[in-house]
């Protein structure tokens, strides 16, 4: 007997449904870079991505990690600044 996938169960367990995924347009907006710059980051493997057919997706956490790796700390902090 065949078992059919229930759409309700699929959306509860599917990782794509919990908004952890970003499109190219989302990442361009977040990083404030051009499409070509993002393509360069992908080519250099600076940002991990997932490709299903022609669709490219990024994980929120991967973009956060990328930003943390490129964080430049200030040399001096004045009193009262965080």
pLDDT band at 75 (very low <50, low <70, confident <90, very high): confident
The CATH number of the structural domain formed by 11-69 is: 1.10.1660.60
The Cα 82–Cα 80 span in angstroms is 7
Domain boundaries, the chain: 11-69
DSSP for 4-21, written as a single string: PPPHHHHHHH-GGGGT-E
> What's the pLDDT score for residue 25?
97
- Beta-carbon contacts of 36 under 8 Å, excluding residues fewer than 6 positions away, are none
Residue of higher predicted confidence among 20 and 77: 20
The Cα 55–Cα 50 span in angstroms is 8
**pLDDT tens readout for residues 5-64:** 444 444 444 555 556 899 999 999 999 999 999 999 999 999 999 999 999 999 999 999
């Amino acid at each position: 007997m065949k078992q059919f996938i229930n759409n309700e169960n699929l959306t509860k367990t599917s990782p794509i449904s919990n908004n952890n995924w970003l499109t190219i347009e989302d990442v361009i907006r977040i990083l404030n870079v051009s499409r070509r710059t993002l393509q360069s980051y992908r080519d250099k493997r600076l940002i991990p991505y997932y490709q299903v057919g022609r669709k490219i997706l990024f994980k929120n956490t991967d973009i956060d990690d990328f930003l943390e790796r490129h964080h430049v700390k200030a040399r001096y902090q004045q009193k009262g600044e965080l």
